[in-house]
Structure 1
Amino acid sequence: MSKRSEHSSAAMKRGHMGMRGRGPAEKAKDFKGTMGRLIRYLKPYRINILVAFAFSICSVVFMVIGPKILGNATTELTEGFMAKIYGTGGIDFAAIETILLQLVGLYLISTLCGFIQSWLMAGVSQKVAYNLRNEMADKVNRLPFSYFDRQSHGEVMSRFSNDVDMIQQTMNQSLGQLISSFVQVIGYLVMMLSISLTMTLLALVVVPLSLLLITTVVKHSQRYFAAQQKSLGDVNGHIEEMYGAHLIMKAFNGEERSVEVFDRLNDQLYDSAWKSQFLSGLMQPISTFVGNLGYVGVAILGGYLAMQGSITIGDIQSFITYVRSFNQPISMIAQNMNVLQSTAAAAERVFEFLGEEEEVAECAHPVEIFDAQGNTSIQGQVTFENVHFGYTPDKIIIHDFSMYIKPGKKIAIVGPTGAGKTTIIKLLMRFYELNSGAIYIDGIKTTDMRRKDLRSLFGMVLQDAWLFNGTVMENLRYGKLDATDEEVLRAADAAYVDHFIRTLDHGYDTVINEESSNISQGQKQLLTIARAFLADPKILILDEATSSVDTRTEVLIQKGMDKLMENRTSFVIAHRLSTIRDADLILVMKDGDIVEAGNHEELMQADGFYTQLYNSQFDAEEE
């Protein structure tokens, strides 16, 4: 790895810290309203917060008093030493010991109060984050599918992780630091005034200069932090894409282009990262330099006043300690105010998500289609009545679709890509709301049922097989969560996957990883088919369910599916028309309309669009 890459890697890590500490340039559109809403989430824990703030104040007060008491010890030591030189007395070690014990006690109490404050705020922040994530998780289940059509998965996950984490860290750290910093500023100022008004005025002269310089640096560094945030996202996105499509990238010799793109993005990140880190790194030296100016002035003035007998050496020592510490809480306040802006932006994104339009409300008095034991009299009769639908209102893709399907029939839906085949299935399960028209199951309008009850009638096997991170047994049981082991085994045997499962290293206890990369695509398909067997649905949906298996396996699966489809209404979406020749009814779709309907022989005799599809497929296979 080149030095620039190493530097960029380090910058990325520091960049996260920098953005946590100062926040990116993104600001809330409605800071006041968003923070007000966030504060309402804190109301259930207001007593914990008030107690935490009280302990925070106590911690700071005891810490601020410390230098004054230490100055008393210095004064006692100095006076005793001078008395010993002039022979008028000696050093009172007992008094110094008492003062030092008092100092140790104060610092211990301050540390204990700080610990309690941190413990209380950590509990509050975690509970608020926990509640926010729970509310967001519930919200996900109420959002329509159309929301996820227009939002990337990464964007949604960012709100769950990055934005909630930002809120949690602010409540855990920044709020406590903000209170402590304000108390420290007031405490240091009071203690300095109690020692010397003249020296305090001199020390305060440099504060406006420090604030001006720090504000200037923060203002100029924000755009570089924003650029760093964007560049970091670009780099991470490219890495994730190349990792996910590693096989394709290798197959098409895309390594060189991938490295070129990475280098370009990495250079952009390097450029913005070092600038943002450099500017943010100037804050501490500037604060220290300005503080040292005040420190030098106070030291000179303090020496002069000591020569005049207006102040003791111990008080000078205490005052210098306060001066050196005075700028630190001021810088902390400036940084935390910027963090609050970023926190408001994060909270606004979370509240924006929680405020998204939800699915159409369930029917106020839904039809009960299941009895107390979970049984139903639904037979599987399906009726489409003048259905119109478009994913967007200005682009209707299903035009006046009507069809009556008797129970227990096998219905095949065929047509070119984009004809609306899968859309019909999505509407049937009410993943989307119709623009107009209605769908009935056994004469009951689907909108008069609970969505949960409606979808319990269906079993689905999709072309893109999806398995969860867990054991094979857990993945199969997802089709029926209360199924016994025996029921799972019977379903696996019926789907002709029992033998394959038993050949795995740990059989049914084999853990499938997150990407399902430890089994083949065909094996994944077999498991999803077995999952549908276990669900024992009234209506079955097969969306090119055998597309990822070999011909021999397909024959076995077809036998199992024929058994599964007995006495069940089945919808089969197929591209290989040879697999649906035995369907009771074939619906031929084109541009959102049913252009032909009938069984295989009737459609072939009609010599229409189906015949063209069928013949072109076999002509292509012969070529």
Structure 2
Amino acid sequence: MQTHKDIQENKKSGREVMRRILACIKPHRMLVVLSLLLSVITVVLTLYIPILTGHGVDKIVGKENVDFSGLVSIITTILLCITVTAVCQWFMNHINNKITYRVVKDLRIRAFSHLQVLPLSYVDSHSSGDLISRVITDIDQFSDGLLLGFTQLFTSVITILGTILFMLSINPYITLVVVVLSPLSFLIANFISRRTFTMFKMQSEARGELTGFTNEMLGGIKVVQAFDHQAEAQERFKEINDRLSGYSLRATFFSSITNPATRFMYSAIYAGVAIAGCFAVIGGMLSVGQLSSFLSYTNQYTKPFNDITGVITEFQNSLASAARVFELIDRPSIPEDKDDAVQLTDPEGHVTMQDVSFSYVRDVPLIEHLNLDARPGQRIAIVGPTGCGKTTLINLLMRFYETGSGAIKIDGTDIRDITTHSLRAAYGMVLQETWLKAASIRDNISYGKPDATEEEIVRAAREAHAHSFIMRMPDAYDTVIAEGGSNLSQGQKQLLCIARVMLCLPPMLILDEATSSIDTMTEVRIQRAFEKMMRGRTSFVVAHRLSTIKSADMILVMDKGHIIEQGSHEELLKKGGFYARLYNSQFAPV
């Protein structure tokens, strides 16, 4: 049950969203003005027709008292009004469509652009399905409500005002009956619409949750089937879907009350006008033609109210969807570069971490007081049990996350004083989780260097040992990779990701389990390629297979966010500590 405070909060939220929508429409105000002008012309001509019809009725009332010449003139004028009205309506609808889809296009671009600059902390804490739902589904819902508002709301409001003026010109007293009773309809519509906003908002949120869950299950359908979790997935889907159905039914129920309730009021108004009009005709205050015109105006006067209540219902859904989109757009983005931020050009690769602390969740520490000094050209291996902070360390180096305290420096400059673009361009990164876009193999390899020549692309593929399998593909380097790389094996996708870095050869490298998906024979060749690629470059290598990091200049052993051991492979084995136990556990005889 909604409290008064909840209703007030919803009204405040609705007003704020409406203000934001008007701000989105503002750049297209000239089209809005033109649409309003055409709407006025359409309404005036439409409302002028009942006047002409009433005159026509008066010209045929009475036995042997038909004015045929006057009737032909009236009919000609009516046909002209209908033609001009139709043309104006066509142009008005075309302009309204243009306004709506331009606003929606701009909003979708803003939402997608903002996704690119959102902190990873926000993206990691929200399902991809929910984010997709906001950018696609919610904006579509907003589009439907906005289009309905433009096509019906303007015309309806102007029709109401115009109808009152025309009715006043015929008979002010009967017009007063119509105007006095009309606010009751608005009170009913307003009472119901305030409650539909909350339902539509909950509906949008449940829809986003359902999209996210469906996306998650489809992405891991093999795992779901392998572990025989279809029943559990179906049960979870049913639970979310039932909630969505419940919210949708309640939203539809509240919104569906509006139209019947207001129709009842309009029917009562029409009946009252008809009775009052008949007495006026008997008393000689109105002619039969004027009564005909007045009844027509009464019908036209009440019809826009039906349209407006329909628009209000749809607009509540639109506002709820827009609120979710604006909530996404309003999320703080990655901090912008400082005004005096420097470009990182030709870095030597001297990376230091000074007393760095970081945690994903407040009061749950992960990395505490971490210090590191990576000299230019050194190969730093990072090992440790799962969850010890290895990947987090990489995220901090790339400034995907901001440090809680302490400083990370490159060649003596704090990375917060370096432009984000130049910082990340200085690193080449190959992750355990591969990512390839739906494009040709050539486009994927040259992703970080779009102006690369064919020779450079082929050379990088050869060095990554990807050239041979690429040439076996149907169109070689022009072969289009399916979405998510579904037409490639996991190892082939990893090789292409390695070739992508091989092409750029930045001054510093990050290899996060880069060979985890490659067979042993290929891994040996890849390690040789890595040896060549890492020569003279500061490299950070995260590895679980300790055989791949024996040649590292320094091995950092992490546990619970701390570096507990560091040294070369031989030095750490001699210590007989955590690293030695970890290494021997992998190579001890069974």
Whether these two folds match at TM > 0.5 is yes
**Mapped partners of 1:388, 1:48: distance in 2:** 54
Aligned pairs for 1:210-221 (under 5 A) are 210-215=185-190, 217-218=192-193
Give yes or no for the alignment of 1:414 onto 2:376.
no
Amino acid corresponding to residue 572 of structure 1 in structure 2:
V
**Mapped partners of 2:572, 2:444: distance in 1:** 40
Aligned pairs for 1:190-201 (under 5 A) are 190-201=165-176
Give yes or no for the alignment of 1:606 onto 2:575.
yes
- Give identity over the alignment, percent: 38
| Correspondent of 2:491 among 508, 522, 525 | 522
User: Counterpart in 2 of 1:78?
Assistant: 61
Give yes or no for the alignment of 1:423 onto 2:406.
no
TM-superposed deviation, 1:605: 1.2
Aligned pairs for 1:187-586 (under 5 A) are 187-204=162-179, 206-215=181-190, 217-218=192-193, 225=200, 228-229=203-204, 231-274=206-249, 276-337=251-312, 349-370=324-345, 376=346, 378-392=347-361, 394-586=363-555
Q: Name the SS of the counterpart of 1:386 in structure 2.
A: strand
User: Counterpart in 1 of 2:52?
Assistant: 69
Change (3 A) 1:243 1:133: closer
TM-superposed deviation, 1:518: 1.8
Q: Which region of structure 1 is more displaced relative to structure 2, 39-48 or 102-111?
A: 39-48
Q: Name the SS of the counterpart of 1:417 in structure 2.
A: coil
TM-superposed deviation, 1:313: 2.9
**Mapped partners of 2:284, 2:429: distance in 1:** 92
Change (3 A) 1:281 1:487: same
| Correspondent of 2:157 among 169, 178, 182 | 182
Contact map agreement 2:10 2:197 (CA 8 A) in 1: no
TM-superposed deviation, 1:525: 0.9
Change (3 A) 1:52 1:391: same
Any idea what the Cα deviations from partners look like across 1:393-431, whole Å, max 9, x if unmatched?
534422332233233222211001111111222222222
**Mapped partners of 1:112, 1:615: distance in 2:** 85
**Mapped partners of 2:26, 2:134: distance in 1:** 23
Q: Name the SS of the counterpart of 1:511 in structure 2.
A: coil
TM-superposed deviation, 1:475: 0.9
User: Counterpart in 2 of 1:52?
Assistant: 35
**Mapped partners of 1:117, 1:45: distance in 2:** 14
**Mapped partners of 1:195, 1:153: distance in 2:** 61
Contact map agreement 1:25 1:226 (CA 8 A) in 2: no
Contact map agreement 2:138 2:324 (CA 8 A) in 1: yes
Q: TM-score, normalised by structure 1?
A: 0.84
**Mapped partners of 2:237, 2:336: distance in 1:** 47
TM-superposed deviation, 1:611: 0.9
Contact map agreement 1:25 1:223 (CA 8 A) in 2: no
Q: Which region of structure 1 is more displaced relative to structure 2, 250-259 or 32-41?
A: 32-41
CA RMSD of aligned residues (A): 3.2
User: Counterpart in 1 of 2:3?
Assistant: none
Any idea what the Cα deviations from partners look like across 1:22-75, whole Å, max 9, x if unmatched?
xx9993644555544544444443333223222212211211222221222233
Change (3 A) 1:264 1:300: same
Contact map agreement 1:28 1:348 (CA 8 A) in 2: no
**Mapped partners of 1:281, 1:367: distance in 2:** 60
TM-superposed deviation, 1:541: 1.0
Any idea what the Cα deviations from partners look like across 1:212-248, whole Å, max 9, x if unmatched?
5545554665665556545544544443333222222
Amino acid corresponding to residue 70 of structure 1 in structure 2:
T
Contact map agreement 2:259 2:309 (CA 8 A) in 1: no
Q: Name the SS of the counterpart of 2:485 in structure 1.
A: coil
TM-superposed deviation, 1:161: 3.6
TM-superposed deviation, 1:205: 6.1
Q: TM-score, normalised by structure 2?
A: 0.88
User: Counterpart in 2 of 1:12?
Assistant: none
Q: Name the SS of the counterpart of 1:478 in structure 2.
A: helix
Amino acid corresponding to residue 60 of structure 2 in structure 1:
L
Contact map agreement 1:121 1:171 (CA 8 A) in 2: no
Any idea what the Cα deviations from partners look like across 1:130-151, whole Å, max 9, x if unmatched?
4444444554444433333444
Contact map agreement 1:214 1:331 (CA 8 A) in 2: no
Instruction: Extract unaligned runs of 5+ from structure 1.
Output: 1-23, 84-88, 371-375
**Mapped partners of 1:229, 1:134: distance in 2:** 20
Contact map agreement 1:57 1:180 (CA 8 A) in 2: yes
Q: Name the SS of the counterpart of 2:61 in structure 1.
A: helix
Q: Name the SS of the counterpart of 1:294 in structure 2.
A: helix
